[in-house]
Chain A
Amino acid sequence: MSYASSLYLTGAEVGLSLFGLVLLLVSAWSGPRSGRLLTVVTVAALVAAAVFSAHLFGRASGGDAVVRAFGDLYRADAFGSFAKVLIYLATAAVLVVTPRFFAQVGGYRGEYPVLMLFNAVGMGMMVSASDLMTLYIGLEMSSLSSYILASFLRQDDRSAEAGLKYFVLGALASGIILYGVSLVYGFTGTTNYEGIRAAFDTNFSTGALFGVVFVLAGLAFKVSAVPFHMWTPDVYEGAPTPVTAFFASAPKVAAMGMLLRMAMDPFAGEVDSWRQIVIFAALASIVVGALGAISQQNLKRLLAYSSINNVGFILIGLAAATPAGVAGALTYLTIYVAMVVGSFTALLMLRDPTGNNLETFADISGLSTRRPALAWSLLAVMFSLAGIPPLFGFWGKFVVFQAAVQADLVALAAIGIAASVIGAFYYLKFIKVMFFDEPMREVEASSPMGHWAVLAICVAIISPLGYLLTIPLGEWTAQAAASFVAAM
């Protein structure tokens, strides 16, 4: 395989890396003033990377195109490209709504967009890796920049605490993954996915099972599935709100994409070994995510539990262990990104007249009379997160449960969907507070166009209009899921 082809396939990552290095120099020389400019340029770069990934997606979903780069360390297949489009767009959307937050609290520097860029490169590698080494490099690249982002508000104790907590527990999870990786390597003699799969097919020993379990446990930490979810509420609450928005969107896609590929490619022959783990994690995440959120007053903390809850539903798609299940999980992720970016954008638009961010239930009471457009957007997002039709969030739940039913996991689907009713309770609380309660606080009367644009796009996707996307979305995710099936 020629270098030219490999570089072409990794074009988005290579381009973003080089671009990030240049921006790093620019920000080092120009000082803190350049933050805003660098953000704009970074958003443009990320959108360009998304377009390039979409191009690769079209190429890979055609069928026989070469997708392996650097001797199968890396695959630019339909699955990876689809996830990358999602990751880059989500990162760009979050960056659009970021600078205004820091303009109020201070401390915005050029490093921020650069860190986001490197994070995006790491995430791109995570979803495209087809070798344990590439995977680990991508994972660490993304994680390390996430730790710094969590503690970006250096003068704020909560932010520093969030960063430290995230770092300590994240490092532990990385260690667990690494240990699992070393076991898998020890029992198979290779780090390549295809090689691992072939080796497992001939002989799957107890030691190798330990390796698989460790890898999956570490990945469960990264997607914040129960019982490895403890860090999520603290980190989400403490990190600056735009960073929380980022953590809840793009890295979730990356970690979930990595988990899907891992489970369905190298470990595909061992479905029976890992399925029960995934089923437990899925149901536990749905229930804990729903119950934990009920008593929360802080909206960021509540959305943290909501993300745990959502991860549970995505894992149901994985538990089906079929192409339809993977496609369903990807569909869910797509809609989830729109919902989560929309909800955090709305949260960032909530400020009191002096510009302080509002983030508790008491702050948003009676919002529908003060900011009707914002309240109605949040209403759509919340009903969508609760999975009530005709909002598009229903479709995400629909496809994963359908995959589970088709895979004969009717009991799992029935328990999962019944537990989703618990979750509806706290989403309803949002609406109750905004619409039924009397206003208690003054809120800022207007928001900048950038925020409105991001919110409008997200709400348009999750509105009933989103159902018009079901056919293309179904085709794209099916092609993405076919990347593994072709390899099977």
Chain B
Amino acid sequence: MEFPILSLMLAIPLAGAIACLFLGAQAARMTALLATLVNLALGILLWVNFEIGGPQWQFVERAEIFAVFSYALGIDGIALMLIMLSVFLMPICILASWDAITKRVGEYMSAFLLMEVLMIGVFAAQDLYLFYIFFEAGLIPMYLIIGVWGGDNRIYASYKFFLYTLLGSVLMLIAMMWMVNQAGTTDIPTLLNYDFDPSAQTWLWLAFFASFAVKMPMWPVHTWLPDAHVQAPTAGSVILAGVLLKLGGYGFIRFSLPMFPEASEQFAWLVYILSMVAVIYTSLVALVQNDMKKLIAYSSVAHMAIVTVGLFAFNVQGIEGAMMVMLGHGLVSGALFLCVGVIYDRLHTREIARYGGLSINMPKYALFFLLFTMASIGLPGTSNFIGEFLALAGIYKVSTLVTLVCTTGIILGAAYMLYLYRRVAFGEQKNADAAAMPDLNAREWAMLAPIAAAVLWMGVYPESFLAPMRQDIAALEARIARAAPDFDADNVIGTPREHNANYVAAAHGEEGAH
């Protein structure tokens, strides 16, 4: 029995969460920061000890302490990367809330640590029902975070977030029960190789899609996201954009694609259409936003659409690209929300028009903001470029039309991000109070610098991140290859004609020779 590092990563934030409930404000902050940093250290240990090219499932733990399902944990490279993303963003979230949250600090920190437990649990669960429990339980702390510490319209946003995502996932539970009844096991690795009847796959796929499409979120069920993002406190937005949106993509990779390959192929057109609409429509909506957080929220929907087309390209590039977009977007959109939070803490407004010319009085801030803006656009050298390029290269092998539309979306992405940056950082200093804001302090440096480093690292040397996932993505590709759709613009090389085009039948030739 090896050292149960995954259980420890669940236990530490859980213990921290319980402790924070009983502590005073400052002690709770310190406890939360300590717990998340310890978990980050454990996460790094996890990554270092992860054997690339080793067994598919590593750090496996199993305990039969429940009826029907078991406490089974274990990770592959895909889960490892997403766990890393969670533990990396968590201390930054705590730092972002350090001064911004003043009421009921203990409960706030407790909710965040609980969130961390559940996110790690979702990615590490190797049992179908255990996954569902972690997946669904995340609603509770997020509901509280939005509802208690959110903005003016927080109650509406919290309800919408909760009921929308709940309705999406309950149908998935029924589908899971049917699958377990059929396959006779709740073990995810076994189910990954179980072939369900294609006619049943259709229904199962739709039930899972209902859940993951809402989480993702895909157009037209994305409307909860702008509300939730805008009303949540900064750190809440970071976690929502950084990790919670990845649950949908993870669900597609872990469940929809390998468990229902035929149905995935059958519904690929649906995913393409929804993604194309999302890329164009939400980018245009983002262009006209006055609220910074709302703009970034809509840009998340557009980026997530790139993830879905990449996943449903059914080839290695597409899936690798989708994973890289998820990781890159987790960092970049999280960082953008932090950037908004930095100036929101100073001026207490998210309205773009209230700012302007910040590069004059906040040059360091403007530099970070520029880096993340460029990363969001997908400039080469930043994380998102790798992901978007791979995802689009993958989908090009299936559909040139989808590629065309999605690439247009990236151009629109450049438009709204640059437009945002121009209005906030450049131009003249219209507002005296905005012009008087001080530049970044040490705490804000500590939040933004690590993300900036990670974004550049991922953009310059993506191999570090792709290597652990390569084998798992290859396995996934092999699994779904039998259902892969054809290339729409494939110029088929037909069988050569017997003779040249100017060939004249032999009889005529003989005749002519006379």
Question: What is A's interface to B at a CB cutoff of 8 Å?
Answer: 368-369, 376, 383, 388-390, 394, 398-399, 401-402, 405-406, 410, 413-414, 417-418, 420-421, 424-425, 428, 431-432, 435-436, 467-468, 470-471, 473-474
Contacts and interface: CB of A to CB of B under 8 A. Distances in A.
A376 B18 CA distance: 12
A394 B133 contact: yes
A470 B154 CA distance: 37
Interface string B123-150: 0000001001110110110011001100
* Among B68, B104, B173, B178: residue with most chain A CB under 10 A: B173
Interface stretch (B156-164, B254-262, B268-276): B156-164
A376 B68 CA distance: 29
Contacts of A425: 159, 163
Nearest to A390: B137
A424 B136 CA distance: 13
Contacts of A436: 147-148, 154-155, 158
Contacts of A468: 65-66
B140 A383 contact: yes
B136 A473 contact: no
B177 A402 contact: yes
B41 interface: no
B177 A405 contact: yes
Given A388-B140, A424-B162, A435-B147, A413 B174 contact: yes
B181 A405 contact: yes
Contacts of B104: 368-369
Given A388-B137, A413-B177, A470 B66 contact: yes
Given A401-B177, A405-B181, A474-B67, A417 B166 contact: no
A362 B171 CA distance: 34
A428 B66 contact: no
Contacts of A402: 68, 177, 181
B62 to A, nearest CB: 15
Contacts of A424: 162-163, 166
B167 interface: yes
A421 B174 contact: no
A402 B21 CA distance: 35
Nearest 8 CB-CB pairings of A with B: A474-B67, A470-B67, A389-B133, A405-B177, A417-B170, A436-B147, A421-B167, A390-B137
Interface residues of B, number: 34
A401 B107 CA distance: 34
Contact of A420 (B140, B144, B158, B170): B170
A435 B159 CA distance: 13
A399 B140 CA distance: 22
A470 B68 contact: yes
Contacts of B166: 388, 421, 424
Given A421-B166, A435-B144, A414 B174 contact: yes
A405 B178 contact: yes
A431 B145 CA distance: 12
Contacts of B158: 432, 436
* Among A394, A420, A421: residue with most chain B CB under 10 A: A421
A474 B69 CA distance: 12
Given A405-B177, A418-B167, A421-B163, 18 more contacts: A368-B107, A376-B21, A388-B137, A388-B140, A405-B174, A414-B171, A414-B174, A418-B171, A424-B162, A425-B163, A431-B147, A432-B158, A432-B159, A436-B148, A436-B154, A436-B155, A467-B66, A474-B67
Contacts of A431: 143-144, 147
B133 A417 contact: no
A469 to B, nearest CB: 9
Given A405-B174, A436-B158, A471 B137 contact: no
A471 B65 contact: yes
5 contacts: A401-B173, A402-B181, A406-B177, A424-B163, A428-B163
Contacts of B147: 431-432, 435-436
A468 B143 CA distance: 26
Contact of B66 (A383, A413, A471): A471
Main secondary structure of the interface of A (DSSP, over half): helix
A421 B446 CA distance: 42
Interface of B: 21, 65-68, 104, 107, 129, 132-134, 136-137, 139-140, 143-144, 147-148, 154-155, 158-159, 162-163, 166-167, 170-171, 173-174, 177-178, 181
Nearest to A437: B155
A417 B171 contact: yes
B185 to A, nearest CB: 14
Nearest to A411: B174
A394 B132 CA distance: 11
Contacts of A432: 147, 155, 158-159
Contacts of A405: 174, 177-178, 181
Contacts of A421: 163, 166-167, 170
A420 B136 CA distance: 14
Nearest to B178: A405
A410 B132 contact: no
Contacts of B177: 401-402, 405-406, 413
Contacts of B129: 398
A432 B159 CA distance: 9
A371 to B, nearest CB: 14
A410 to B, nearest CB: 6
B67 to A, nearest CB: 4
A410 B162 contact: no
Contacts of B155: 432, 436
Contacts of A420: 170
Given A383-B140, A389-B132, A417 B174 contact: yes
A395 to B, nearest CB: 9
A390 B133 contact: yes
B363 to A, nearest CB: 40
Contacts of B167: 418, 421
A159 B473 CA distance: 67
Given A401-B173, A405-B177, A406-B181, A428 B143 contact: yes
B152 to A, nearest CB: 12
B66 to A, nearest CB: 5
A436 B136 CA distance: 21
A309 to B, nearest CB: 15
B136 to A, nearest CB: 5
Contacts of A435: 144, 147-148
A425 B21 CA distance: 26
Contacts of A390: 133-134, 137
A471 B68 CA distance: 8
Nearest to A386: B166
B118 to A, nearest CB: 8
A214 to B, nearest CB: 34
B276 to A, nearest CB: 29
Contacts of A388: 136-137, 139-140, 166
A9 B170 CA distance: 44
B247 to A, nearest CB: 15
Contacts of B66: 467-468, 470-471
Nearest to A421: B167
A464 to B, nearest CB: 9
Nearest to B150: A436
A431 B141 CA distance: 12
B128 to A, nearest CB: 12
Given A405-B178, A432-B158, A471 B170 contact: no
